[in-house]
Amino acid sequence: MKNLEEWNIIDVYSRKDAISDGVQVLANPKLTTESGIKFPVYLTEKVYNKYVKVPEGMDKFQNEESRLWDIFTMFKHFARGVDSDFIEFKVSVTLQPRGDWTPNERREGPDDPQRLVTLKAVIGPMDFDDPSPAITIMMPGED
């Protein structure tokens, strides 16, 4: 087996690159700490844009911080006692009933604004050059 220094690296797409490209978003570090999560949390662009950003017309009764808090709360609930580097968890999210349902969402009826959403969280190294732990929250099919 080759030593890591002996490998010829062809290409590296780092977390820094993903953030720069907008593929990942760092969750508010203050809120992450206040919620009791020890490690930085990143969300994929798809999760952030669909479930954290406040949908048009809902800004009078919702804000990003509260939506993110809901995701953190359910993540922590499902992560308790799990001995794995990934989990799937569910969170209820209010969205406009536009018919833009995805396979990871369940609803009661066609006009119901509440969606029971399944998300996936993975804990791993912050980046290829930084082994400190970080959590990434994504759609179930994303890697």
Q: Is the pLDDT of residue 1 over 60?
A: no
Phi-psi region of 120 (alpha: psi -120 to 50; beta: other; left: phi over 0): beta
In terms of pTM, does the model score above 0.85?
yes
Which residues are within 8 A (CB) of 36 and not within 5 positions of it... i.e. 6 or more apart?
76
- Give pLDDT tens digits for 35-61: 999 999 999 999 999 999 998 888 888
